[in-house]
Amino acid sequence: MNKAIVKRVLNEANYIIETSNTIRDIAKIFNVSKSTVHKDLHERLFYIDKKLFKKVEEILNYHTSIRHIRGGNSTKEKYLNISNLVV
């Protein structure tokens, strides 16, 4: 694997462990697509560093378990903002 890719994967992994940000946030910060971050953290990291992969996997599983709550809150805020603009 290319050294630049390995470095990016490790940087992304360390960043998500430090901040617990979402894949979407990490993609913006590292200026890559969400698909790239997902592949980096789900596939490439496993072959690079298994211990780091386990830590990242816990965070990503947590994000998956609460995504329905985040989505509901986003929808609620969207419609509250719309109703505030109409009044």
Distance of CA 53 to the CA centre of its chain: 14
pTM for this prediction = 0.76
Report whether pLDDT(87) > 80.
no
- Mean predicted lDDT score pLDDT of the chain: 89
| pLDDT tens digits, one per residue of 15-36 | 999 999 999 999 999 999 999 9
- Position of tokens 């946030």? 25
Question: CA–CA separation, 81 vs 55, rounded Å?
Answer: 37
